[in-house]
């Protein structure tokens, strides 16, 4: 920020040259506004004073040329007053039809001046010329010509106004048509891209996580030291991230990567343990790819792999390595890498979350194991990728309507949700885990539950029959978060 203080609009003395420029600009703008407003009536294209002055000169010149031509053709009656038809009035009429009533009046005034000059030229003195002009002035001739000119000018102004309005409307419609054409083109491209994504990635993130949970839950609780279902993990990774060739390697007790892959998809070669990308991801303990900025460009060019990611458990211990050799060019983007990181973290967290999950199950014996495991997983997911998840508990009474509403809402479970139902002090508790759902998704879930209850039970509101408790995963440790929510529901 500059150290020089800014002066107000009227603060301090102004420089003389600045004041003079400001005054000149103001006066020029005022003149422009005045003449634009004055000339707009006969300048049909714009309010430019320059164009208006040129048209005034054009009008006067054409009328004078017509008068000279008429005087050359009929010197005894150049105005055509005694002729069967006053052809000279066609010039002011045409000018009025072209430029409007104002220039038509200028043309009439020019004709009157020309008539006076013609009369003045035949008199000896100025007084005799004025007297002769006053006695011989053809009032009906000029009055009829003025009326004809004004009618033509009025017709021109009405027509020009309609023309301007139609041009403005057409310009707006052309602009809208251009915008609609571009939007339609973008919509078509977006539709084609969605079709391609649907064919290449048939699983959504929620469906992938749900399948991952089903694959690993049993082995997590029975033997958390083993890598659970690596083949199925790679299949989900291939379907979700378009991975064409990849392998998963297990880390032994000494911390060394075994040379034989535990699972692979596509055609993979022997593990290159000294590869630059492999060394980078093992040293940094994070996912690395060939576009990683902190990796030397020469090392990136020498790497055989496109993506390398360490498999770390909940405690940060390395238990495996994922290497990706082939990946479509269009799939190597930030979204795909983030999705891959989420799937890897979700899968890796399940390796040793069994300890924390068993701690939760010891405190809450009736809690479903999948709920305890997913709370731990989503807690780690929130810390690593900042993706929100939530718990929602609805506590119903034990009367007939509350039980019916409890059963109705329990059937609204989505595929990725985990539901736990239990009784606490004569009340029915419905606790739902909403993976990948923030505050807005919780509000949407409650609105959906409210709409379903009102559709089933009429005007009865959910708040009259159930107490609502929510908790955001990540705010507290899983071993305390779930028991604290159970205590809130029992209060």
Write the CATH number for 214: 3.30.450.40
Looking at the structure, tell me whether residues 317 and 372 fall in a common domain: no
pLDDT at 376 (0 to 100):
82
Looking at the structure, tell me whether residues 345 and 368 fall in a common domain: no
Q: State the average pLDDT over residues 63-91.
A: 81
> With 70 as the cut, is the pLDDT of residue 139 above it?
yes
Indicate the average pLDDT of the chain: 76
> With 50 as the cut, is the pLDDT of residue 45 above it?
no
Task: Provide the domain count of the chain.
Answer: 3
pLDDT at 391 (0 to 100):
92
pLDDT at 196 (0 to 100):
72
pLDDT digits (tens, 9 = 90+) for 212-222: 666 665 555 55
153, 176, 200: which is the final residue of a domain? 200
pLDDT at 304 (0 to 100):
83
Q: Which residue has the higher pLDDT, 471 or 218?
A: 471
pLDDT digits (tens, 9 = 90+) for 250-264: 887 777 888 888 888
Q: Answer whether residue 4 is part of any domain.
A: no
Q: State the average pLDDT over residues 372-399.
A: 83
Q: Answer whether residue 22 is part of any domain.
A: no
Looking at the structure, tell me whether residues 302 and 336 fall in a common domain: yes
pLDDT at 208 (0 to 100):
62
> With 70 as the cut, is the pLDDT of residue 179 above it?
yes
Q: State the average pLDDT over residues 69-93.
A: 80
Looking at the structure, tell me whether residues 49 and 193 fall in a common domain: yes
Looking at the structure, tell me whether residues 309 and 339 fall in a common domain: yes
pLDDT at 113 (0 to 100):
83
Looking at the structure, tell me whether residues 107 and 240 fall in a common domain: no
- Provide the residue range defining the domain that includes 133: 28-200
pLDDT at 197 (0 to 100):
66
∠ CA(51), CA(53), CA(57), 5° rounding? Answer: 115
pTM listed for this prediction: 0.42
Please state the φ and ψ torsions of residue 474, each to the nearest 5 degrees.
115, -20
Place of tokens 């009367």: 399
Looking at the structure, tell me whether residues 51 and 109 fall in a common domain: yes
Q: Answer whether residue 1 is part of any domain.
A: no
Q: Answer whether residue 17 is part of any domain.
A: no
Looking at the structure, tell me whether residues 385 and 475 fall in a common domain: yes
140, 170, 200: which is the final residue of a domain? 200
Looking at the structure, tell me whether residues 91 and 107 fall in a common domain: yes
Q: State the average pLDDT over residues 352-377.
A: 78
Looking at the structure, tell me whether residues 440 and 388 fall in a common domain: yes
Q: Answer whether residue 8 is part of any domain.
A: no
pLDDT at 423 (0 to 100):
87
pLDDT digits (tens, 9 = 90+) for 419-437: 899 888 778 899 999 888 8
169, 200, 231: which is the final residue of a domain? 200
């Amino acid at each position: 920020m500059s150290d020089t203080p800014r002066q107000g609009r009227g603060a301090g003395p102004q420089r003389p040259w600045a004041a003079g420029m400001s005054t000149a600009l103001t006066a020029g703008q005022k003149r422009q506004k005045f003449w634009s407003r004055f000339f707009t009536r006969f300048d049909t294209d714009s309010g430019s004073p320059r164009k208006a002055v040129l048209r005034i000169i054009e009008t006067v010149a054409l009328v004078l040329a017509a008068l000279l031509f008429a005087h050359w053709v009929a010197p005894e009656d150049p105005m055509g007053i005694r002729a069967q038809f006053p052809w000279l009035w066609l010039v002011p009429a045409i000018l009025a039809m072209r430029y409007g009533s104002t220039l038509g009046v200028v043309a009439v005034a020019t004709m009157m001046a020309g008539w006076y000059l013609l009369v003045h030229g035949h008199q000896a003195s100025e007084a005799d010329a004025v007297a002769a002009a006053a006695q011989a002035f053809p009032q009906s001739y000029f009055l009829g010509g003025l009326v004809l000119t004004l009618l033509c000018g009025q017709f021109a102004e009405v027509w020009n106004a309609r023309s301007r309005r139609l041009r403005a409307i057409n310009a707006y419609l052309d602009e809208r048509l251009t915008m609609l054409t571009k939007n339609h083109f973008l919509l078509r491209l977006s539709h084609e891209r969605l079709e391609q994504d649907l064919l290449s990635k048939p699983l959504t993130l929620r469906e992938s996580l749900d399948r991952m949970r089903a694959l690993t839950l049993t082995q997590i609780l029975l033997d958390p030291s083993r890598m659970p279902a690596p083949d199925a993990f790679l299949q989900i990774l291939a379907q979700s991230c378009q991975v064409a060739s990849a392998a998963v390697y297990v880390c032994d007790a000494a911390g060394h990567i075994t040379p034989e892959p535990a699972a692979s998809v596509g055609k993979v070669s022997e593990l290159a343990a000294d590869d630059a990308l492999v060394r980078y991801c093992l040293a940094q303990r994070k996912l690395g790819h060939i576009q990683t900025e902190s990796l030397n460009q020469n090392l990136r060019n020498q790497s055989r792999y496109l993506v390398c990611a360490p498999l770390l458990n909940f405690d940060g211990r390395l238990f495996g390595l994922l290497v990706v050799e082939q990946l479509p060019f269009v799939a190597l983007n930030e979204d795909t890498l983030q999705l891959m990181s989420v799937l890897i973290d979700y899968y890796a967290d399940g390796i040793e979350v069994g300890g924390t999950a068993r701690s939760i199950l010891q405190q809450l014996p009736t809690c479903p194991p999948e709920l305890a495991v997913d709370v731990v997983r989503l807690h780690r997911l929130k810390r690593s990728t900042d993706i929100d998840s939530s718990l929602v508990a609805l506590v119903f009474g034990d009367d007939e309507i509350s039980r019916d509403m409890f059963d109705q809402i329990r059937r609204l479970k989505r595929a990725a949700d985990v539901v736990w139902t239990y009784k606490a002090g004569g009340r029915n508790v419905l606790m739902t885990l909403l993976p990948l759902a923030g505050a807005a998704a919780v509000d949407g879930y409650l609105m959906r539950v409210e709409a379903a209850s009102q559709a089933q039970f009429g005007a009865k509101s959910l708040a009259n029959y159930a107490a609502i408790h929510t908790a955001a995963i990540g705010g507290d440790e899983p071993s305390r978060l779930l028991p604290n929510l159970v205590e809130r529901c029992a209060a």
